[in-house]
């Protein structure tokens, strides 16, 4: 056998810094979809189910070109390239990875919004509390865009009445 | 099946997969150990090694090739992400797609590649054997060997569909302010790129959680600079400066 690598019968490690298939850490993923926007071959998808209030982040490693753009843009470090490369399969369904997250339900109208519970938690982590009214922001984050706009308009009308009755 | 004779079918690949494929046939990787033999005519082949995203031009030739093969076993080995699902070229104008598949949509597993032809052939009543998908862009020679060994039953399958319910609300809190962490990350990304930036930032957060005061942090950073290479050391110094500026200025207003 001389020079030949005895490969499938011995296990080998990928070289350091090798870009293998990516993997989504479901503990860290907030479902923001930054990776979906960055993915050049659309291997990552964001599928919202507004009826049941779930968001699916789907990764198909059979479409992935391993460019690591998702790893670069992920704000929480949930997507990481792994050293794994032994991903051949007879069934394409083996290549799919799904992370299911919960969407925020609007407290005013009861419909689901287009952002997840975890996104709200993360956004509140980033906001500097001393510069904003944290309580007001927290209350507003539980309300969908349409209701928020309605509230702001009503507030403006109310305020203008005070000055010009 | 003991040994597969293969015919190489290029359906418009960028030649990255070809380079890896012929690497797999060299004495170092030696796919001929498993009885894989490259043959010159599809009439002699058990399997086709299909590479490429299946262009419109190559569609008809590829169809002829597969029809010319003996009806059994007619194995298709899809090598590379393009052959598996269209890859980076998935929505290009020269790529053959079945009309109902379209180019947009959110179905998964993603469609495209040699699958489109295989389904067309199955619709026409042609017998087509199993399809072995070996994703990778391009796949390493080991990956190709692994796929062929999996086809021959020499190794176990290592992947399975993964589904996770991310129900918890705990998103993790780094030892430094999250806003500051993201700022430093962006700053570093412009200096050394995301790969090293993430590593340096992780090391820095480790140092911050170890250090009790600024002097000790500075000593740890100096120690880090003496151990690591110059690029990483310089970046470490940069984010230390930014970190201290933030700390002393009381946030972003400084």
- Looking at the fold, whether B44 and B109 belong to one and the same domain comes out as yes
Residues A64-68: contacts with CB within 8 Å, 24+ apart? A64/A21, A64/A22, A64/B81, A64/B135, A64/B137, A65/A40, A65/A41, A65/B81, A65/B87, A65/B88, A65/B137, A66/A19, A66/A20, A66/A21, A66/A22, A66/B136, A66/B137, A67/A19, A67/A40, A68/A19, A68/A22, A68/B194, A68/B195
Minimum distance, in Å, between the CA of residue A143 and any CA atom of chain B: 18
Kindly determine whether residue A90 and residue B132, on different chains, have CB atoms separated by under 8 Å: yes
Q: Determine, for residues B158 and A64 on separate chains, whether the beta-carbon distance falls below 8 Å.
A: no
Contact state of A63 with B81 under an 8 Å Cβ cutoff: yes
Q: Which residues contact B213 (CB under 8 A, 6 or more apart)?
A: none
Does the distance separating the beta carbons of B164 and A41 come in below 8 Å? no
pLDDT at A16 (0 to 100): 86
Same domain, B20 and B98: yes
Q: Report the number of distinct structural domains present in chain A.
A: 1
pLDDT per residue as tens digits for the range B75-87: 999 999 999 999 9
- Examine residue B254 and state whether it is found in any structural domain, yes or no: no
Res. B172: pLDDT tops 80 = no
ipTM over 0.90: no
Distance CA A159, CA B92 (A): 54
Task: Flag whether B61 is in a domain.
Answer: yes
Residue B26 lies in a domain: yes
**Whole-prediction pTM:** 0.88
| Spatial distance between the Cα atoms of A113 and A54, rounded to a whole number of angstroms | 10
Listed by number, the residues of chain A in 9-48 with a beta carbon closer than 8 Å to a beta carbon of chain B are 9, 12, 14, 17, 21, 24, 26-31, 40-43, 45, 47
Whether A149 has its CB under 8 Å from any CB of chain B: the answer is no
How many C-beta atoms lie closer than 10 Å to residue B120's C-beta? 16
pLDDT tens for residues B121-138? 999 999 999 999 999 999
Give yes or no for a contact between B132 and B115, defined as CB atoms under 8 angstroms apart: no
Q: Pick from A32, A25, A22: which is nearest to A125 by CA?
A: A32
Q: How confident is the model at residue B27 (pLDDT cuts 50, 70, 90)?
A: very high
For all residues of chain B together, what is the average pLDDT?
90
Q: Do B134 and A99 touch (CB under 8 A)?
A: no
Task: Give the closest of A28, A64, A128 to B172, CB-based.
Answer: A28
- Interatomic CA distance for residues B206 and B188, integer angstroms: 17
- Residue contact B88–A96, C-beta within 8 A: no
pLDDT beyond 80 at B101: no
Given this model, what pLDDT does residue B254 score? 38
Q: What would the pLDDT profile of B208-244 be if each residue is shown by its tens digit?
A: 988 888 899 999 999 999 998 899 999 999 999 999 9
Does the beta carbon of A150 lie under 8 angstroms from any beta carbon of chain B?
Answer: no
Structure confidence at residue B250 (pLDDT): 65
Chain B window 149-188: which residues touch A at a Cβ cutoff of 8 Å?
A: 149-151, 154-155, 157-173, 178-179, 182
pLDDT beyond 70 at B28:
yes
pLDDT at position B251 = 56
| Residue of chain B nearest A73, judged by CA positions | B194
Q: Is the pLDDT of residue B20 over 90?
A: yes
Q: pLDDT per residue over B56-69, tens digit each?
A: 999 999 999 999 99
Percent of chain A at pLDDT > 70 equals 99
Q: Could you list the residue range(s) of the whole structural domain that residue A130 is in?
A: 8-163
* Residue ranges in chain A modelled with pLDDT below 50: none
Domain containing A96 — which CATH number? 3.30.70.20
Query: Do residues B83 and B202 both lie within one domain?
Result: no
B88 to chain A nearest CA, in Å?
5
Which residues of chain A lie closer than 8 angstroms to B131, CB-CB? 90
Q: Residue B173: inside a domain, yes or no?
A: no
The percentage of residues in chain B with a pLDDT greater than 90, rounded to a whole number, is: 67
* From B10-19, B36-45, B168-177, B204-213, the region with the lowest mean pLDDT: B168-177
- What pLDDT is attached to residue B252? 54
* Record: contact A47-B106, CB cut-off 8 A: yes
Number of domains in chain B: 2
Taking 90 as the threshold, does the pLDDT of residue B119 lie above it?
A: yes
The answer to whether the Cβ–Cβ distance between A128 and B150 falls below 8 Å is: no
A58 touches chain B (CB under 8 A): yes
Q: Is B222 inside any structural domain?
A: yes
Q: Which domain holds residue B212?
A: 178-249
> Would the CB atoms of B135 and A42 count as touching at under 8 Å?
no
Rounded to the nearest angstrom, the minimum Cα separation between B171 and chain A is: 6
E strands, B37-148, in order = 37-38, 47-51, 75-79, 131-134
Residue B166: per-residue pLDDT: 82
Q: Does residue A130 form part of some domain?
A: yes
Sign of the CA dihedral with B244 first, then B248, B253, and B254 last? negative
A152 CA: distance to closest CA in chain B (Å)? 27
Same domain, B67 and B140: yes
* Domain shared by B22 and B147, yes or no: yes
């Amino acid at each position: 056998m001389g020079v030949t690598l005895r490969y499938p019968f011995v296990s080998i490690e990928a070289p350091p810094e090798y870009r293998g298939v990516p993997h989504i850490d479901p503990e860290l993923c907030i479902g923001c979809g930054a990776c979906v926007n960055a993915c050049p071959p659309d291997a990552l998808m964001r599928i919202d189910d507004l009826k049941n209030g779930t968001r699916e982040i789907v990764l198909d490693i059979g479409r992935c070109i391993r460019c690591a753009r998702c790893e670069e843009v992920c704000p929480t470090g949930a997507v990481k390239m792994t050293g794994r490369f032994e991903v051949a399969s007879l069934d394409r369904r083996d290549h799919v990875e799904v992370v299911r997250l919960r969407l925020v339900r609007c407290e005013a109208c009861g419909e689901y919004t287009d952002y997840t519970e975890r996104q709200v938690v993360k956004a509140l982590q980033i906001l500097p509390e001393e510069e904003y009214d944290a309580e007001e922001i927290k209350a507003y984050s539980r309300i969908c865009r349409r209701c928020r706009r309605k509230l702001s308009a009503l507030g403006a009308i109310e305020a203008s009445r005070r000055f010009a009755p | 099946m003991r040994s597969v004779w293969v015919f190489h079918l290029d359906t418009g690949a960028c030649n990255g997969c070809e380079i890896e494929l012929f690497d797999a046939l060299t004495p170092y990787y030696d796919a001929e150990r498993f009885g894989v033999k490259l043959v010159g005519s599809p009439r002699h082949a058990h399997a086709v090694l299909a590479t490429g995203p299946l262009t419109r031009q190559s569609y008809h030739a590829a169809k002829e090739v597969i029809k010319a093969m003996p009806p059994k076993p007619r194995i298709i080995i899809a090598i590379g992400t393009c052959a598996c699902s269209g890859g980076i070229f998935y929505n290009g104008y020269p790529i053959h797609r079945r009309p109902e598949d379209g180019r947009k949509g959110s179905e998964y597993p993603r469609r495209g590649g040699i699958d489109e032809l295989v389904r067309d052939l199955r619709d026409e009543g042609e017998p087509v054997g199993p399809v072995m998908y070996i994703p990778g862009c391009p796949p390493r020679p080991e990956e190709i060997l692994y796929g062929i060994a999996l086809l021959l039953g020499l190794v176990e399958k290592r992947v399975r569909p993964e589904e996770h319910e991310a129900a918890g609300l705990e998103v993790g809190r780094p030892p430094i302010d999250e806003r500051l962490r993201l700022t430093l990350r962006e700053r570093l990304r412009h200096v050394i790129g995301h790969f090293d930036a993430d590593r340096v930032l992780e090391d820095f957060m480790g140092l911050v959680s170890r250090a009790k005061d600024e002097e000790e942090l500075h000593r740890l950073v100096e120690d880090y600079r003496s151990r690591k290479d110059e690029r990483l050391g310089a970046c470490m110094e940069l984010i230390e400066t930014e970190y201290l500026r933030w700390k002393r200025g009381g946030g972003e207003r400084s």
